[in-house]
Amino acid sequence: MSEPTPRGTDPDAGEAYVSTGSLPARDQVIALVTAAHGRFTREASGKIADYIPALAEADPAHFGICVTNARGETFAVGEADHSFSIQSVSKPFVFALVCEALGPDEGERLLGVDATGQPFNSVMAIELRANRTTNPMVNSGAIATTSLVAGASAEDRWSRVRDGLSRFAGRRLELDERVYASEAATNERNAGIAHLLRGYGRIYCDPDEAIEVYTRQCSLLVTARDLATMGATLAAGGVNPATGERVVSAGTCRHVLAVMATAGLYEHSGHWLFDVGLPGKSGVSGGIITVAPGKGALATYSPPLDEAGNSVRGLLATRFLSERLGLNLFVSAPVERGGASRAQS
């Protein structure tokens, strides 16, 4: 397979073309977030993930929603402060750290950015691509991403991952030791993926070390409120709107959001974009983040999952809110002669 054409990214070039607009007024956001929670709280379909034994203990009734705008104002309802392990929602943030360090061209060359159309832990996805890359939002590409975090040892890499994700959240994130031990004792499949990638030269440190750090990153404890802040940092050009700290560049955010839009919901990513029209990322513990560039982020937590591993209530609430909050990136209104759009006239 040919290498992608280098785009010669100028780190400042994107900033002249930022997404504009903002979330609706505070009262309206509160009313809509509350309405979304009330509307979908009785939805009873979906199944809690149990392939990591500790995850099976989650409460199926838990349902939290949090919206954070690009100025750091937060609107939360339900179990938005309940802690759970971040799982795959860690993937875009570790990719952001790696993309920031290596640049987008190297990131794309070493990891790939195309959707696989396959389940999150697919081995076949690796085999189907001639150059054996996938993308940083599925397990194979995410384990390879973690292997690119700088560090002389697993401990070193882990402290960079933890510090980086903590800066996105604006607070020190803790490891859930029980979830970590449970996944570490049962992650033969991910270890198999890492060793397969090693055979193809597509993992960039010792594969067991990469799995160690990857499993820890998935076991970091977060709340829906944390995820909304983390997503809002990607929405706000890389500056955490709660702490004011720059975590990554605006150019990095743009590339991370593109891969989330392409592949953030595994084999349902196309369906998600068709419906919601925004970059998103889900995880098997029941979290979903959705980012509206320039405006803010929305995070949901509800453990029962559909067959692709995406939170059922999270999908419903996000679709409802992306519409009612006017966030879908693909929606437009005809422009009237004279310049005003119909929506404004």
Q: Which residues bind ligand GLN (CB under 6 A)?
A: 87-88, 120-121, 139, 183, 190, 218, 283-284, 309
Please give the structure tokens belonging to residue 10: 């100028």
Q: Closest Cα partner for 14 from 328, 258, 242, 332? A: 258
- For ligand GLN, give the closer residue by CB, 69 or 190: 190
- For ligand GLN, give the closer residue by CB, 87 or 229: 87
For the chain, how long is the longest CA-to-CA vector?
Answer: 65
Task: Evaluate whether 40 touches 77 at the Cβ level (below 8 Å).
Answer: no
Please give the structure tokens belonging to residue 217: 């990153």
Task: Evaluate whether 332 touches 74 at the Cβ level (below 8 Å).
Answer: no
- For ligand GLN, give the closer residue by CB, 249 or 300: 300
- For ligand GLN, give the closer residue by CB, 121 or 145: 121
Residue 140: in which H helix or E strand, if any? helix 139-147
Q: From the CB of 140, what's the least distance to ligand GLN, in Å?
A: 10
Gyration radius of the chain's alpha carbons: 19
Distance separating alpha carbons of residues 190 and 209, to the nearest angstrom: 12
The single residue listed with the structure tokens 């780190």 is 11
Q: From the CB of 298, what's the least distance to ligand GLN, in Å?
A: 18
Q: From the CB of 182, what's the least distance to ligand GLN, in Å?
A: 10
Please give the structure tokens belonging to residue 216: 């820890």
- For ligand GLN, give the closer residue by CB, 119 or 326: 119
Q: From the CB of 323, what's the least distance to ligand GLN, in Å?
A: 26
- For ligand GLN, give the closer residue by CB, 75 or 84: 84
Distance separating alpha carbons of residues 247 and 239, to the nearest angstrom: 6
Q: From the CB of 73, what's the least distance to ligand GLN, in Å?
A: 29
Distance separating alpha carbons of residues 169 and 147, to the nearest angstrom: 22
Q: Closest Cα partner for 63 from 86, 35, 82, 90? A: 82
- In which region does residue 323 sit, left (phi positive, over 0), alpha (psi from -120 to 50) or beta (all else)? alpha
Q: From the CB of 216, what's the least distance to ligand GLN, in Å?
A: 10
Q: From the CB of 120, what's the least distance to ligand GLN, in Å?
A: 4
Q: Which residue is nearest to ligand GLN (CB)?
A: 88
Q: From the CB of 218, what's the least distance to ligand GLN, in Å?
A: 4
- For ligand GLN, give the closer residue by CB, 49 or 276: 49
- For ligand GLN, give the closer residue by CB, 194 or 325: 194
DSSP letter for each residue of 280-330: EEE-TTSEEEEEETTTEEEEEE---B-TTS-BHHHHHHHHHHHHHTT--TT
Q: From the CB of 89, what's the least distance to ligand GLN, in Å?
A: 7
Pairing state between β 84-85 and 280-282:
unpaired
Distance separating alpha carbons of residues 281 and 257, to the nearest angstrom: 10
- For ligand GLN, give the closer residue by CB, 214 or 320: 214
Please give the structure tokens belonging to residue 202: 């597509």
Q: Closest Cα partner for 329 from 279, 256, 265, 260? A: 279
